[in-house]
Amino acid sequence: MDYRKRPLLCVIAFVILLAACKQDPSRAEFALGTVCSVTLFNEGNDRIYKEIFSRFREIDNLMSVNIAASEINRVNAAAGTSPVQVHGDIFTVIDRALYFAELSGGAFDPTVGPLVSLWGISGDNPRVPSPAEIDEIMPLVNWRDVEIDRVTRSVFLKRRGMALDLGAIAKGFAADEAAAIIRDSKIKRAIIDIGGNILVLGEKKNKSPWTIGIQNPNESRGVYIGILRITEPTAKPRSGEGYRPVQTVVTSGVYERHFEADGIVYHHLLSPSDGYPARNSLLSVTIIAACSMDADALSTAAFVMGYEKGRALIESLEGTEAIFVFEDKSIRKTEGVDFVLSDEKYRLVRD
Give the footprint of Mg ion on this chain (CB under 5 A).
Answer: 168, 296, 299-300
Among Mg ion, ligand AMP, none, what binds residue 108 when CB lies within 5 to 8 Å by partner kind? ligand AMP
Range list of β-strands (E), the chain: 26-31, 34-40, 84-85, 146-149, 154-157, 190-194, 197-201, 210-215, 224-230, 246-253, 258-261, 264-267, 282-289, 321-326, 330-333, 339-341, 347-348
Residue 266 to residue 276: CA distance in whole angstroms:
8
β-pairing verdict for 197-201 and 246-253? antiparallel
- Find the shortest distance in angstroms from Cβ 245 to Mg ion: 22
Comparison of 168 and 201: residue with beta carbon closer to Mg ion: 168
Q: 344 by DSSP, 3-state: which?
A: coil
Using rule CB under 6 A, residue 269 touches ligand AMP:
yes
Contact region with ligand AMP (CB under 6 A), list: 175-183, 211-219, 239-247, 266-274: 266-274
Q: Which does 110 bind (CB under 5 to 8 A by kind): Mg ion, ligand AMP, none?
A: ligand AMP
Q: Which partner in ligand AMP, Mg ion, none is near 51 (CB below 5 to 8 A by kind)?
A: none
Cα distances from 240 to residues 66, 184, 221, 243, in angstroms, run: 42, 14, 39, 6
Which is nearer to ligand AMP, 189 or 267 (by Cβ)? 267
Which position among 56, 91, 108, 324 is part of the footprint of ligand AMP (CB under 6 A)? 108
Closest separation between CB of residue 22 and Mg ion, Å?
A: 36
In the complex, minimum distance from the CB of residue 65 to ligand AMP, in angstroms, rounded to a whole number: 8
Q: Which is nearer to ligand AMP, 107 or 181 (CB)?
A: 107
Q: Which value, to the nearest 10 degrees, does the dihedral of the CA atoms of residues 304, 308, 313, 319 take?
A: 110
Q: Is 119 in the site for ligand AMP (CB under 6 A)?
A: no
Using the rule CB under 6 A, is 70 a contact of ligand AMP? no
By CB under 6 A, what part of segment 131-170 binds ligand AMP? 165, 167-168
* Separation of alpha carbons 177 and 296, rounded Å: 14
Tell which residue, 135, 164, 170, has the closest CA to residue 147: 164
What is the closest distance, in whole angstroms, from the C-beta atom of residue 104 to ligand AMP in the complex? 8
User: What is the rounded radius of gyration, in angstroms, for the C-alpha atoms of the chain?
Assistant: 22
Residue 118 CB, nearest approach to ligand AMP (Å): 12
Size of the site for ligand AMP (CB under 6 A): 20
Evaluate whether 190 touches 182 at the Cβ level (below 8 Å): yes
For residue 269, the partner it binds in ligand AMP, Mg ion, none, with Cβ less than 5 to 8 A by kind, is ligand AMP
Nearer to ligand AMP, 60 or 109 (CB): 109
Using the minimum distance from each CB to ligand AMP, give the nearer residue, 134 or 187: 134
Q: Are 293 and 96 in contact (CB under 8 A)?
A: yes
Q: Which residue is nearest to ligand AMP (CB)?
A: 167
Q: Is 94 in the site for ligand AMP (CB under 6 A)?
A: no
Q: What are phi and psi of 26, to 5 degrees?
A: -150, 145
**Is 114 an interacting residue with respect to ligand AMP (CB under 6 A)?**
no
Q: Cα(136)–Cα(129) distance, rounded to whole angstroms? A: 11
Between 248 and 300, whose beta carbon lies closer to ligand AMP? 300
Among Mg ion, ligand AMP, none, residue 71 binds (CB under 5-8 Å by kind): none
**Residues forming a β-bridge with 149:** 154
What are the φ and ψ backbone dihedral angles of 210, each rounded to 5 degrees? Answer: -65, 145
To the nearest 10°, the Cα dihedral for 52, 253, 325, 111? Answer: -100
Positions that interact with ligand AMP (CB under 6 A): 108-110, 112, 116, 121, 165, 167-168, 252, 256-257, 268-270, 272, 296, 299-300, 304
